[in-house]
């Protein structure tokens, strides 16, 4: 087996990193990547990470030629072009735009959930902005309701970019926001997630307890 040729800057608690790792496992590419741990925060960037990634976000992927890709959506698209199996991101047509839209909805859940996490974990309680927190949670609940109503059949049909993204978003809610009890209002999503969360790729990328 050849040595890994790429480096993935990662934190095992990051749901955006998890999406990339799940895709790598699903497409048999995980041995191509070395994981480099880093823990950037909004007020404390990682010095090595920002050298070629000025925004300082993870995941970031250093390619064999030394160039760096960042943003999970870019990295997912890159790796989906590097394997010989069926694409996990449709290449064209209406299916492409629909699956990417569902993935974007999942990313919207994650964006809101991460913002709530930062606000509640990093800022003193007396500085929490309750209406702002409420609206972030409303975004999550509205999006979950849309997925529950209109996307279950699509999510069930393929474990692709849309399903990976939604599964990682639901996993992050369990990890950081168990108080939201998202299953109560979304029983179909709950049943679907109970099944896909047992996939080896999901089991091997669970965030730390």
If asked whether residues 70 and 113 sit together in one domain, one would say no
Kindly report the average pLDDT of the chain as a whole number: 94
Residue 123: name the closest of 188, 43, 177, 196 by CA: 43
HEC profile of the chain: CCCCCEEEEECCCCHHHHHHHHHHHHCCCHHHEEEEECCCECCECCHHHHCCCCCCCCCEEECCCCCEEECHHHHHHHHHCCCCCCCCCCCCHHHHHHHHHHHHHHHHHHHHHHHHHHHHHHCCHHHCCHHHHHHHHHHHHHHHHHHHHHCHHHHHHCCCHHHHHHHHHHHHHHHHCHHHCCCCCCHHHHHHHHHHCCCHHHHCCCCCC
Cβ atoms of residues 114 and 73 within 8 Å: no
Per-residue confidence (pLDDT) for residue 102, from 0 to 100: 98
If asked whether residues 67 and 112 sit together in one domain, one would say no
If asked whether residues 76 and 109 sit together in one domain, one would say no
Per-residue confidence (pLDDT) for residue 39, from 0 to 100: 83
Among the candidates 55, 80, 105, a domain finishes at 80
Structural domain contains residue 136: yes
Candidate from 88-92, 105-109, 121-125, 126-130 with smallest mean pLDDT: 121-125
Output the domain CATH number for residue 176.
1.20.1050.10
Query: Which domain range does residue 66 map to?
Result: 6-80
If asked whether residues 63 and 114 sit together in one domain, one would say no
Per-residue confidence (pLDDT) for residue 60, from 0 to 100: 96
Mean pLDDT of 109-124: 93
- For 149-181, how does the pLDDT look when each residue is reduced to its tens digit (9 = 90+)? 999 999 999 999 999 999 999 999 999 999 999
Per-residue confidence (pLDDT) for residue 105, from 0 to 100: 98
If asked whether residues 57 and 132 sit together in one domain, one would say no
Per-residue confidence (pLDDT) for residue 48, from 0 to 100: 81
Per-residue confidence (pLDDT) for residue 209, from 0 to 100: 79
* CA–CA gap between residue 6 and residue 35 (Å, rounded): 9
- For 70-90, how does the pLDDT look when each residue is reduced to its tens digit (9 = 90+)? 999 999 999 999 999 999 999
Structural domain contains residue 86: no
């Amino acid at each position: 087996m050849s040595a890994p040729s790429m480096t993935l800057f990662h934190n095992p608690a990051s749901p955006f990193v998890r999406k990339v790792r799940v895709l790598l496992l699903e497409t048999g590419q995980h041995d191509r990547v070395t994981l480099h741990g880093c823990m950037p925060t909004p007020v404390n960037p990682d010095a090595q990470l920002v050298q070629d990634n000025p925004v300082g976000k993870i995941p970031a992927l250093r390619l064999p030629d030394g160039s760096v890709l960042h943003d999970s959506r870019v990295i997912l698209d890159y790796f989906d072009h590097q394997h010989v199996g069926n694409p996990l991101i449709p290449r064209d047509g209406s299916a492409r735009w629909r699956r990417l839209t569902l993935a974007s909805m999942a990313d919207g859940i994650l964006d809101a959930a991460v913002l709530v996490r930062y606000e509640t974990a990093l800022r003193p309680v007396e500085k929490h902005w309750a209406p702002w927190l409420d609206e972030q949670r409303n975004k999550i609940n509205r999006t979950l309701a849309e997925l529950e109503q209109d996307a279950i059949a699509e999510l069930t049909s393929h474990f692709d970019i849309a399903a990976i993204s939604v599964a990682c978003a639901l996993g992050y809610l369990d990890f950081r926001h168990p108080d939201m009890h998202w299953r109560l209002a979304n029983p179909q999503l709950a049943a679907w997630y109970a099944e896909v969360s047992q996939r080896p790729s999901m089991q091997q990328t669970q965030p730390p307890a």
